Amino acid sequence: MNFVALFIQRRVLAYMLSAALLLFGFIGLSGVGLDRLPNVEPPMIAITTINSGASPEVMDASVSSVIESAVNSIAGIENIESTSSPGVSQVWVQFIFSKNTDVAFNEVQAKINQVINDLPREVETPIVVKMDLNAAPIVWLVLKGDRPLSELNQLARTRIKRQLENINGVGGVSVGGGRERKIRVDLDLQRLSSLGISAQQVIAAFSREHIQLPGGYLVGDMQEKMLHLDLEFHSTAELAQLVVVWREQVPVTLGDIADISDGLDDKRGLARFNGDDVLAIAVRKVSNANTVKIVDELKRRLDEVIVPALPDGVELLVAKDESSIISGTANALKNHIVEGTLLAAFVVWLFLLNLPATLIITAAIPVSLAGAVVVMFFGGYTFNIMTLSGLLLLIGVVVDDAIVVLENIHRHLEAGDTDRIRAATNGTREVVFAVLAASLTLVCIFATVIFMEGMVGIFMRSFAVVVSGGVITSLFVSLSLTPALCARFLSHSDVESRAIVKWISRLHQQMDKAYSRLLAFSLKHRITVLAATALLVASTGWFMGQLGSEFFPEDDESRFSLTLKAPLGSSIDYIEQKIGDMEMILNDIPEVTRVLSTVGSGQGSEVNEAQLNVILLGKEQRSRSQSAIMQQVRTAAGDVIGVQAYVNVYPMFGANSGEPFNAYITGPDLYRVAELAEQFMQRLKNDPRMGDVRMELKLDRPQLYFDVDRNRAQALGISTQQIGDTVRVLAGGADIAKYNALPGDGERYDIRLAAKREGMRAQRDIENVYLQGPEGGLIPLDAVVQVEESLGPATVERRDLNFGANFSSTPAVDLGQAVEIFQGLGDELLPPGYQVALAGQAQELGKSANAILFVFATGLILVYMVLASQFNSFLQPVLVMLAQPLAIVGGIIALWLVGHTLNIYSMIGMVLLVGLVSKNSILLVDLINRYRAEGMDTMTAISQACPRRMRPVMMTSLTIVLAMLPAAIGVGEGAGQYGPLAVAVVGGVISSTLLTLIVVPVAYSMLERWLAVK
């Protein structure tokens, strides 16, 4: 073939092209980011609307429902979810993955603009943002010291936050656990009533007296002066002199009716680190940035700039660092790549007993990996579990083509051809089509991945790009660099020169003889061989039934999360006490090193729920597994009375919960959904297979209901608006103005108006509030309002415009079985109009099963097309494709033996086997056909071809097995994630290799009359 002869005759051209690939790969290394998982950017849009103090039912009816109805008409929506909590409405619009995120954002924003006037006038403008599942904090810092939290908060926001925000790759920095500075105006209700002053008059006084106005300019003949109309008060002492009203020519000032202080916001959140009160600082990255580089730069800046400038007695510590897990997993996979390269080289030497040949094969590895890196660079992919696993696999795959070419050239030299150029040319020409077909079968398996949607499509796409790029590069290398190097350096080695080589050579001969005898036996008992093989393939169904199914496998990351949930209505002081009790339990566990506890860290978060992030010693430093420690914590948490405790692994994506099982029951009536949800809970609690189930819909939040006597109120000249404003300001408190000190720090702070806490603690205190009548007289609130205590929802959730109750848990069984249990309950308990809706990993699991079947089916069709084109036959591809079921058998049995489940990684491994194992049968059938074309009868051709091809088949298979073996064994961090992929590949390659060497020749012999060879 002219293409091959070109590189053999012009070897320097082959060297330079490969060197160029290495150069571009080296350059690309610096531009490829490092992350834990592929960049998952689903087209999800979030709409957040604030209406401080509004109840969940009000937020749902007046905000969430309006927004959901508006956006529901947009094309391409997969589902809509909303959560209405006190003062906050959050709506999430999930589009199908093929939807362009920018288009989706613009369409949602346009719909919000159309209905913005339909929202209550008190609400803030809805905020529309694109959701980023990778936007979880990559670092948690804690600031603590011998200073008040207000001073630490000021330090964190004005100095530390600004220093961190300008680090390249940082997308945002948020501070939690502190309390914002507030100018507090606490009204004395008794003084107000005695002076006949209402809350509305106080608010009106601020609007009248505490103002800033644009003044313009005073222009003279030769100069102009700006009019600075800053008419605000700039100290608490000045604020005390603000005149509210006049009584009998005497001014009543704000100081006469209120206590004014430069204080803090209401306590609605906290952060603790190892039992100490701290400020928590979360650092997030921008999409596709290199997490490890960001964290390294952050730590450098902490050490060199920020920490040295901190006041004495103040510490800034790293509480949680995502980069350690990422770098640990990446380093483990990099070590596996090095180990795999060395093992592949050893296998080549073991079979060829030729050092130059070993070095020639090994040279294909870095060049092919460099080609894959170049593809990653231009494709915008990062180094992560999927792409690094692809590179690891490539070590075994990319040498296959080079091994086939070199081994055939080596046989020509063994046969006595002394002209290396002729041997290289003839040896390569004989196998070029087999090598081409073998490579294309692997590439075409991933061709259909571009049609896959959902998260499994994103994961497979990144893996497919790396593997396809490397395989195409290896094909080029095997037809250019490998024959060029063979023509220059390869020679027939003298196997008699050393004892060890002589011993291995005899072992080769014995192996060849043993295989020849086994092949002859199989050809004499063809029916028995095929029947036994069919039974083995049929057994796959039983083994697959024993495998559980889940989306992500659990991994030991040396960390877990603990959620504490107190009864609705519990105060923040109550939950803080329970956090302390839980921290004491964790302190008694020797493997626990750090505990970061937060309350109110998310928008709309309730103060009755706490999140504890528990960091453990590394795996190599402890004798117990993470799951064993988590089980101990679950048991011990039962001793903390008054809270529910949920122990979970960390979520793979920050926007998701840690529980693998997540589902809704939905319907048109909120209270009927709640009744059905309680029935579900009773059944699920009694089923130990479902683990600790958490149900979010609670209708027992204590609340006060205000029943206004509207006729009486109108008769007295009192408006409903006046009633609402008075109760809102005095009981709940309201920010009514802005304030800044002179001289100050350049920041403006809210002025919060409320009644004194000691005068507003119970229902009777609200009833004693006075309203101002139209003639200035005071009317008690209970004259026009009846206040009743009732129960209401803590949050109102919707899914696809129906009310929903969310269930989540970490099941004791696999995720697939948990889904079956939950759906079975739905069939039994739910009436018409109410249904089960899966979410999170449970939803993606269902999608992934269909997606994998699609890839299997279309991949097999494409493989058949490639093979039919290669062999110019419709029947021979079927013979070659016998390797696929033989590989699936080994992959499934290997997963069952090791104890893995069917998950996103193992399923990718099974898909990979479909293209991977065809190479062996291609080599066998191709040579049998060639011998038959030369005039041999079928049995002689099989007896001659198969032993000759046995060595390259064993070499190619062993390189893959040994390259993936360290990952399959579970050595290194992250092995729980990529381990199932490696196990499936190793098991499938072993079974396919052993069975293909027997089954394919036997099947060929039985089909010989239909296998015409031209």
Mean pLDDT calculated for residue range 472-498: 79
Query: Domain 1-31+353-490: what homologous superfamily?
Result: Multidrug efflux transporter AcrB transmembrane domain (1.20.1640.10)
The pLDDT of residue 547 is above 90:
no
Mean pLDDT calculated for residue range 550-574: 84
The pLDDT of residue 996 is above 90:
no
Mean pLDDT calculated for residue range 497-516: 80
pLDDT in tens, 655-676: 456 678 889 999 999 989 999 9
Q: What pLDDT is recorded for position 66?
A: 93
pLDDT in tens, 64-93: 999 999 999 999 898 999 999 888 899 999
The least confident of 15-19, 54-58, 333-337, 463-467 is 333-337
pLDDT in tens, 404-439: 888 788 778 877 777 888 888 888 888 888 788 878
pLDDT in tens, 785-824: 888 888 888 889 999 999 999 998 888 888 888 999 999 9
DSSP letter string over 814-871?
-HHHHHHHHHHHHHHHPPTT-EEEE-HHHHHHHHHHHHHHHHHHHHHHHHHHHHHHHH
pLDDT in tens, 693-708: 888 888 877 888 888 8
The pLDDT of residue 55 is above 90:
no
Q: What pLDDT is recorded for position 781?
A: 83
- State the Cα torsion 633-634-636-638 to the nearest 10°: 150
The separation between CA 320 and the C-alpha centre of its own chain, rounded to angstroms, equals 17
pLDDT in tens, 219-235: 887 888 888 888 888 88
The least confident of 77-91, 164-178, 196-210, 358-372 is 164-178
CATH, domain 42-131, list 3.30.70.1430, 3.30.56.10, 3.90.950.10, 3.20.20.70 = 3.30.70.1430
The pLDDT of residue 1014 is above 70:
no
In the block, residue with structure tokens 């079928």: 938
The partner residues of 143 in beta bridges, in order of sequence, read 279, 316
Helix (H, G, I), strand (E, B) or coil at 14: helix
The least confident of 105-119, 195-209, 430-444, 795-809 is 430-444
How far CA 278 is from CA of 156, 317, 331, 815, in Å, comes to 11, 10, 33, 38
Percent of the chain with pLDDT strictly greater than 70: 96
Rounded to whole angstroms, the Cα distance separating 449 from 460 reads: 7
Percent of the chain with pLDDT strictly greater than 90: 12
Mean pLDDT calculated for residue range 116-138: 83
Q: For the purposes of burial, counting CB atoms within 10 Å of the CB of 527, is it exposed (0-12), middle (13-18) or buried (19 or more)?
A: exposed
Rounded to whole angstroms, the Cα distance separating 651 from 945 reads: 53
Q: For the purposes of burial, counting CB atoms within 10 Å of the CB of 778, is it exposed (0-12), middle (13-18) or buried (19 or more)?
A: middle
Q: What pLDDT is recorded for position 603?
A: 57
Rounded to whole angstroms, the Cα distance separating 559 from 611 reads: 13
Tokens of 948: 């000759």
Rounded to whole angstroms, the Cα distance separating 661 from 219 reads: 71
Closest to 784 measured CA to CA, from 725, 711, 888, 866: 711
Q: Give the DSSP H or E segment for 474.
A: helix 454-479
Q: What pLDDT is recorded for position 822?
A: 92
Mean pLDDT calculated for residue range 716-733: 83
Q: Vertex 911, ends 908 and 913: CA angle to 5°?
A: 110
CATH 3.30.2090.10 at 182-266+732-770, yes or no: yes
Peptide linkage before 743 cis (omega within 30 of 0): yes
- In the chain, CATH 3.30.2090.10 sits at 182-266+732-770
The band of 345, judged by pLDDT with boundaries at 50, 70 and 90, is confident
- Which one-letter amino acid corresponds to residue 576? E
Residues in CB range of 75: below 8 A, 6 or more apart: none
- In the chain, CATH 1.20.1640.10 sits at 1-31+353-490, 500-546+873-1013
The band of 1012, judged by pLDDT with boundaries at 50, 70 and 90, is low
Q: What is the mean pLDDT of the chain?
A: 84
The separation between CA 211 and the C-alpha centre of its own chain, rounded to angstroms, equals 48
Rounded to whole angstroms, the Cα distance separating 342 from 362 reads: 9
The separation between CA 809 and the C-alpha centre of its own chain, rounded to angstroms, equals 18
Q: What pLDDT is recorded for position 972?
A: 66
pLDDT in tens, 205-222: 999 999 888 888 888 878
The separation between CA 299 and the C-alpha centre of its own chain, rounded to angstroms, equals 24
Mean pLDDT calculated for residue range 549-560: 83
The partner residues of 128 in beta bridges, in order of sequence, read 47
Mean pLDDT calculated for residue range 503-523: 86
pLDDT in tens, 303-342: 888 888 888 888 888 888 877 777 777 777 788 788 878 8
CATH 1.20.1640.10 at 500-546+873-1013, yes or no: yes
CB 615 within 8 A of CB 317: no
Rounded to whole angstroms, the Cα distance separating 798 from 801 reads: 6
pLDDT in tens, 590-624: 999 999 988 876 655 678 888 898 999 888 888 88
Q: What pLDDT is recorded for position 1?
A: 47
Tokens of 412: 């020509």
Task: Pick the more confident residue, 448 or 946.
Answer: 946
- In the chain, CATH 3.30.70.1430 sits at 42-131, 558-649
The separation between CA 823 and the C-alpha centre of its own chain, rounded to angstroms, equals 25
CB 755 within 8 A of CB 670: no
Q: What pLDDT is recorded for position 68?
A: 93
CB 64 within 8 A of CB 85: no
Peptide linkage before 86 cis (omega within 30 of 0): no
The band of 500, judged by pLDDT with boundaries at 50, 70 and 90, is confident
pLDDT in tens, 752-782: 998 888 778 777 778 778 887 777 778 888 8
Q: What pLDDT is recorded for position 756?
A: 86
558-649: CATH number: 3.30.70.1430
Q: Model pTM? A: 0.79
- State the Cα torsion 338-342-348-351 to the nearest 10°: -140
The least confident of 162-166, 494-498, 963-967 is 494-498
